Amino acid sequence: MMLNGKVVLVTGAGGGIGKEIALSAARSGAAVVVNDIGATLSGHSENGGAAQAVVDEITAAGGKAVANTDSVSDMAGAERMIGAATEHFGRLDAVVNNAGILRDGFFHKMSFEDFDAVIKVHLYGAFNTSRAAAPVFREQNGGSLIHMTSTSGLIGNLAQANYSAAKLGILALSKSIALDMQRWNVRSNCVAPFAWSRMTSNIKVDSLEQEARVAKLREMKPEKIAPLVTYLASDAGVDVTGQVFTVRNNEVFLMNQVRPVRSVHRSEGWTGDTIASHAMPALKNSFVPLDVSADVFAWDPI
């Protein structure tokens, strides 16, 4: 019962990874605020029944849960989520920022509306809920924020400029929160999940290579993500903050963060010509290739 007596908010918990995290938290002893607007993958057609269905499953198993159908993209809605935790259960110990939408498209075809909508749900959503939770965490002198990022942002993927930008932005947001809130024992970490869910079911299959990739994704179950999130939300993870993890079936990876990899120096300073003749040839062997996520995680999931 790693989360016994804790209260956890999970956004986007009406299905997939979020649902499995909510169920795992409840099985581990937590009272859970299950947030989901019940929207389609693109963020349309809201129906609040998804959150209540997960609450019913938790309570039928003897757990404690309450539903919330506000949008993470709305600051007032985020404040109501936090309020649901403190009003129903008296406290809040962890927020799992899992809610997300997809509006994929190649950059040269992407509309402002599709870019804006994805940024608002993922990046603004993570800010809104974390910012709304900050006063509660400060008063309690502790708390855990767990943000779902993606290798689409950490590494790269085709036709996902909006999603990739939001997910890499979440890494920077998480690190800043970890630095700013450490004096109040607030931790902030990221998890990049590999799992077959509604989000990944949107992947276009138009080649044998893509078909093989999707077949591998189908093997990776969303419930495999929950144990790490449960740990990070618990007191057992009290010393873990500012980190980025990836979970792929039974594999857990610690991801690196941007650091210098090579340097060149010229005492007299640089010109365009000497950059071309000296700096770039010296640095080129250390360039990061135009990889996508599947190139880096090229082996079968274990």
CA atoms within 13 A on the CB side of 209: 3
Catalytic residue among 124, 137, 163, 196: 163
- Split at pLDDT 50, 70, 90, the class of 23 is very high
pLDDT at 51: 97
Whole-angstrom CA distances from 47 to 14, 19, 67, 71, 164 are 10, 16, 13, 12, 27
In the chain, the largest separation of any two C-alpha atoms, in whole Å, equals 73
Separation between Cα atoms, residue 205 and residue 256, nearest integer Å: 30
Instruction: Confirm if 195 and 226 have CB atoms less than 8 A apart.
Output: no
Can you list the domains of the chain with their CATH numbers?
A: 7-257 (3.40.50.720)
Separation between Cα atoms, residue 134 and residue 180, nearest integer Å: 11
Q: Tell me, yes or no, if 231 is annotated catalytic.
A: no
pLDDT at 248: 94
Q: Look up residue 30 and give its two tokens.
A: 């937590």
Report the predicted TM-score, pTM, of the whole model to 2 decimal places: 0.93
Which of 40, 94, 56 lies closest to 226, judged by CA?
Answer: 94
Q: What is the pLDDT of residues 169-217, one digit of tens each?
A: 999 999 999 999 999 999 999 999 998 766 555 555 666 676 666 677 7
First vs last Cα of the chain: how many Å apart? 27
| Measured CA angle at 125 (ends 33, 238), to 5 deg | 60
